[in-house]
Amino acid sequence: MNSISVFCGSSPGKLPDYSKAAKELGRVIASENIRLVYGASNLGLMGIVAESVLNNGGTAIGVMPKIFKGKVNHPNLDELIIVDTMHQRKARMYELSDAFLALPGGLGTFEEILEMITWSQIGINSKPCGLLNISGYYDKLVTFLDYSVEQRFVKREHRDKIIIDDDINRIFHDFKNYEALKVNKWLDRK
């Protein structure tokens, strides 16, 4: 794993644990000599992860749609890539990354990581996807994913390929040992 896309909030969130985890994630990314790819912001958890990567001697690349340029972009990135749209942003982040990880965040974070997971389900993405479940932030989403399996909208094999943990080092271990799933997405197709 040479690079990782991190999706997370442009807010630090309510609990100090979120910022603490973002800072630790940045430290681990830098210490593992992994390149950070993220949304380029200097705000919230996004800014904390990037700042931690940079402060620990790592490389941070930001990918930002032009509507945000000059408003919230981090000033010290190794590279800032400007694209036209949010769709292009995700596509570019996909191209640049070997894995995808979501820290706590809002609607944009949910949409970004769920799209990468969906791409895995339909065979576009063979790269690992995970949730860093700090202070149980993603517990209800995990419950919902399991419910989706029970209701026969998601295959158990696809659900089980989402790496979910509250420990950064275990997630990285699982990312490094990830094997893409070769299972047909459709549950009822003969």
pLDDT in tens, 9-68: 999 999 999 999 999 999 999 999 999 999 999 999 999 999 999 999 999 999 999 998
What's 55's domain CATH number?
Answer: 3.40.50.450
Query: How many domains are there within the chain?
Result: 1
Q: Is 188 a residue whose pLDDT tops 90?
A: no
**Mean pLDDT on 140-147:** 98
Tell me what pLDDT residue 185 has: 60
Range of the domain at 75: 3-176
Q: Helix, strand, or coil here: 125? A: coil
Alpha-carbon gap, residue 168 to 24, rounded angstroms:
8
Q: What is the pTM of this model?
A: 0.94
User: Residue 2: exposed, middle, or buried by beta-carbon count in 10 A (0-12, 13-18, 19+)?
Assistant: exposed
Distance between alpha carbon 153 and the CA centroid of its chain, in Å? 23
Tell me what pLDDT residue 122 has: 87
Tell me what pLDDT residue 118 has: 93
